[in-house]
Amino acid sequence: MPIYTCTAAQGSLTSEVKALLAAEITRIHVDINHVPPAYVNVVFSELPADSVFAGGQPATPLILTGWVRRGHPQEEATRLALELSSAIVRISGMDESRTMVVLQDGPARSAVEGGRILPEPGEEKEWLRRTGAA
Amino acid sequence: MPIYTCTAAQGSLTSEVKALLAAEITRIHVDINHVPPAYVNVVFSELPADSVFAGGQPATPLILTGWVRRGHPQEEATRLALELSSAIVRISGMDESRTMVVLQDGPARSAVEGGRILPEPGEEKEWLRRTGAA
Amino acid sequence: MPIYTCTAAQGSLTSEVKALLAAEITRIHVDINHVPPAYVNVVFSELPADSVFAGGQPATPLILTGWVRRGHPQEEATRLALELSSAIVRISGMDESRTMVVLQDGPARSAVEGGRILPEPGEEKEWLRRTGAA
């Protein structure tokens, strides 16, 4: 259900680090938001060195943005963002000051996965039961 | 006014399929949200195979995210998401289980196209009349 | 704190123009939203010619999307979008009709930078003081 996009300058992340990040982002999301792992999407967008800036200067940040369904309790979204931040620092080895995590929310009823409108937060079990996935 | 971004692993989509997807996404959006076709933007972001994951494993999903103005009735946003989902399955030939559509909303007054603040949903005709486009 | 993503067809923007755009987007954001320049991220996503469409046809738009913390007064978000629009037209030399700016907002408490939850709009000074950055 969520879509995580990790943006970095080309050369910042090896294939191995990307795989480790994807696995850990998935694990954390499953743990906090209670969806099966298969529903967690993670993609990496790596951009040329002349295409990434901070403070108006060339930079090499690691930016993780995630789309999640609106309606999760704010304290859980905050905890999710903090745990994801710790994970990307730990796994990438980048200085924490260069990392950022942003969770954007949108209405579950404006999203479709596998042909079906997503469930509201808290209604996942019934939704999964009807898909035959739970 | 909307911006659709279609994310897939490299090699999943031919140029022809991308053109067909762009045309159909545009047609559906015009039909449901009543804006002239020229205002519908569609871009494709194709990522290397080692950069796309689902469930923490390499994967080849087709993810369509769209930015739309906040304030459309929810039932129309839901219908739009469902019709877009059907279209991308039909045109790409991908298994439905690998597809996802997410519509994110934002304030029309926080968006500018062609130098002008976007109209609220429902106020398109007057806005277009003043641009000389209608 | 904000993340700006500028999307264009490959070949639309030189490295020099990208650097100028990043500097001016940063300057405008700092001026209106009162955060230190180092916290303004700008990235460029340049896509192949067969991957960018408007009105269902191949096109060469310049689309700037920004993520900002929710809670800024709407009139300031509108002014920010308008000033960014003027800047990208002026610097890129593109026809205004091909340009678009969209500001998406999300909860500050769902975002983490440098390991710390972002401040609500208006609480930046205290937050920066505690980071030692102000």
User: Is B31:B82 a contact under the CB 8 Å cutoff?
Assistant: no
Which fold is adopted by the domain C3-131? Macrophage Migration Inhibitory Factor (3.30.429)
Contacts of C76 in chain B (CB under 8 A): none
Chain centroid, CA A104 distance in Å? 10
Tens of pLDDT, residue by residue over C65-87, are: 999 999 999 999 999 999 999 99
Other chains touching C, judged by 3 or more CB pairs under 8 Å: A, B
% of chain C residues with pLDDT over 70: 98
Tens of pLDDT, residue by residue over A54-69, are: 999 999 999 999 999 9
Residue of C nearest to A78 (CA): C110
Q: Categorize the per-residue pLDDT at B132 as very low, low, confident or very high, splitting at 50, 70 and 90.
A: low
CA distance B72 to chain A (A): 11
Tens of pLDDT, residue by residue over C89-130, are: 999 999 999 999 999 999 999 999 999 999 999 999 899 998
Question: Residue B6: its pLDDT value, please?
Answer: 98
Contacts of B23 in chain C (CB under 8 A): 53, 56
Question: Residue C133: its pLDDT value, please?
Answer: 55
Average pLDDT over every residue of B81-100: 97
Q: What ipTM does this complex have? A: 0.95
Contacts of A104 in chain B (CB under 8 A): 104
Judged against a pLDDT cut of 50, whether residue C35 lies above it is answered with yes
Q: Categorize the per-residue pLDDT at A132 as very low, low, confident or very high, splitting at 50, 70 and 90.
A: low
Which of B3, B27, B107 has the CB atom closest to C77's CB atom? B107
Judged against a pLDDT cut of 80, whether residue B65 lies above it is answered with yes
Can you give the residue ranges of every domain in chain B?
A: 3-131
Tens of pLDDT, residue by residue over B1-57, are: 899 999 999 999 999 999 999 999 999 999 998 899 999 999 999 999 999 999 999
Q: Categorize the per-residue pLDDT at B133 as very low, low, confident or very high, splitting at 50, 70 and 90.
A: low
Question: Residue B130: its pLDDT value, please?
Answer: 84
From chain C residues 72-101, the ones with a CB under 8 A of any chain A CB are none
Which of B27, B36, B112 has the CB atom closest to C101's CB atom? B112
Higher pLDDT, A106 or A132: A106
Which pairs with CB-CB distance under 8 Å and at least 24 residues apart come from C107-110? C107/A74, C107/A77, C107/A103, C107/A105, C107/C69, C107/C70, C108/C69, C108/C70, C108/C71, C109/A74, C109/A77, C109/A78, C110/A74, C110/A77, C110/A78, C110/A80, C110/A81, C110/A102, C110/A103, C110/A104, C110/A105
Q: Categorize the per-residue pLDDT at C62 as very low, low, confident or very high, splitting at 50, 70 and 90.
A: very high
Other chains touching B, judged by 3 or more CB pairs under 8 Å: A, C
